[in-house]
Amino acid sequence: MARLPRTLQNESDLYSLQAEWACAVLNRDKRGHYAQIGMNPMHPLFIGLDLPAPPAQPPVRGYPGGGWAGGAGRRSHSKKWMNPMRPSLMMGVNEINADPTHQSRHPSEGWEPYPPEFEPKIRWLWAPAFAGATMEADQQRGFLLENSMNPMHPSRGSGPGAEIDRKIRNFMRRQGVFDEGAGPAITRPMKKLNDKLNKALAARKSAGLLRQLRQDADGVDFSSNDYLGLSRSEELRRRIDARSEALGTPLGSTGSRLISGNSAAVETLESQIAAFHRADAALLFGSGYAANTGVFSCLLGAGDTLVMDELIHASMIDGARLSKADRIVFKHNDLGSLKQALQQAQGNKVIGIESVYSMDGDVAPLKEIAALAEEFDAAIVIDEAHSTGIMGPQGRGLVVGEGLEDRVFARVHTFGKGLGLHGAAVVGSKTLRDYLINFARPFIFATAPTPHTVASIAAAYDLLPEIEDARQNLFRLIDAFRERTRGQEQRWIDSRTWVQALIVPGNEKVRAAAQQLRNRGFWTVPIVSPTVPAGKERIRICLHAFNTVEEIHRLFASLDEILMSEDLRQVP
């Protein structure tokens, strides 16, 4: 039940406010109007609107507040004193366009019209505030909410109704429930939840943690995951176009793989991926996030244990949270900590790690982890997101590079980094593939990849063996970069990969440093806590095959100036 605003002290005020609004929509106004239920969600009783009351006058039966637009069996005494919002009364519209539910032709015993002196007030102030509008126009003005706004509300912002319209908007602005640029107004039924969301956003903003999307990713790219530059490759584009044209299939996938989205092209691609990564089978997922979530949520159950590196990706953590298995976290790349965790683990055991860690750029000691896994009868699941296309022969990944294909249970290879595309595949045994088809919900309930996506991934895998020059150039750039960090090791996280990180403690300080780099023409992104531990905030620098040694030298020259600048020292 709605709470009455403070201005409603008596029944006369209640009628007055109702007289200023059509209290219900045509299709809903049979539910009762001067009760606090079934009303238009924009009604003053719902948002506490304080508008001027009409001249003091006790309500009489027949006063429009008692039985509006078709109102709940209440009938005006005559057509003349019917609903003042009715278009046929106020706007000269043919009665065909008037409220079709109003029962004005059947007088009800004991009902009288409102006093004639009220007519000018109602006719020229209240009525034009609603008459002659459409739901479509109301939506354009931002007053439509869930198709339940009064269809007679003014929508043009001119004429006698504009004054009340302005009062409504101004009131909603004061209450914080109307934003000119935020689309439809939010009224009381949703205000509580919206207030909660705004409070959470304000708290995050005050803590300096508010995330925002940007469109100004310009300058020399030292930020993206496009390590091999395939997202800008004209050769890859040509091959994708050729494969897409050859498919001659519909544009869309039409459904999930288990309904209508499977195809010979998809299964051929999965066989191609499995062969490339030297596995028995592969299964496509829509993203690396979906693949990791799917695998970790369904592999184990109650009584089993997931043993996970403390720096694994959020997608693996979220998958583990969905699992019924117990979880034990071990210190990053710490074999002693891993051994202790395996000693504590019960039931079936899975070790979750990454090949290259995205925030530090270091590599998992995979051979040593594999030895511990065998000692404690545990299976390894490894996310190869940041190694796919780069590490191992022809970019087959760390596992193949170490010759451990038969000692790792499952690998997640993603296509959004080294391959420059989107999507992922889980590679492993045929049994694993069949199990995921049956139990991995992010696969079961997701739309299949489109034919164009399938063609794109296949073209990228075709190209990987042919771009050894790009990989070798990337390795040369890593050597040049590490050479420039000599003598500054305390500032840099030790990494021998394409992911480098400069420690700049403090969220505000690291943001300021990254912004100064952008001002100098380098696109870098600050990584702030809690994404990384407090005190370990950093500028992550990603190297790419298309970068140059000269760009690296300019980057370091800029960093030296920025880190020594008085402006940065003054940032808390």
So which residues are the catalytic ones? 225, 313, 354, 358, 383, 386, 417
Q: Distance of CA 472 to CAs 227, 331, 466, 546, Å?
A: 12, 32, 12, 11
Per the CB < 8 A criterion, the answer to whether 82 and 76 are in contact is: yes
Q: Distance of CA 23 to CAs 71, 146, 275, 476, 540, Å?
A: 9, 16, 68, 73, 57
Residue 97's identity, in one-letter code, is N
Alpha helices by DSSP H, listed for 78-229, are 87-90, 119-121, 135-141, 162-174, 188-206
Q: Distance of CA 477 to CAs 86, 472, 495, 549, 555, Å?
A: 76, 9, 13, 6, 13
Which of the 8 DSSP states describes residue 565? -
Instruction: Say if strands 305-309 and 349-354 run parallel, antiparallel, or are unpaired.
Output: parallel
For helices 468-484 and 549-564, the axis angle rounded to 10 degrees is: 30
Distance CA 93, CA 75 (A): 21
Largest interatomic CA distance in the chain = 98
Distance CA 335, CA 372 (A): 8
Q: Which two tokens stand for residue 65?
A: 């507040």
How many beta carbons lie within 10 A of that of residue 465, not counting itself? 12
Per the CB < 8 A criterion, the answer to whether 228 and 470 are in contact is: yes
Residue 91's identity, in one-letter code, is M
Burial tier of 127 (Cβ tally within 10 Å: 0-12, 13-18, 19+)? buried
Map tokens 């009783």 to a residue.
45
| Residues in Cβ contact with 211 at an 8 Å cutoff, skipping those fewer than 6 apart | 204
For helices 264-276 and 451-463, the axis angle rounded to 10 degrees is: 30
Per the CB < 8 A criterion, the answer to whether 557 and 568 are in contact is: no
* Per-residue buried b or exposed e for 250-282, using 16+ beta carbons within 10 Å of the residue's own CB: eeebbeebeeebebebbeebbebbbebbbbebb
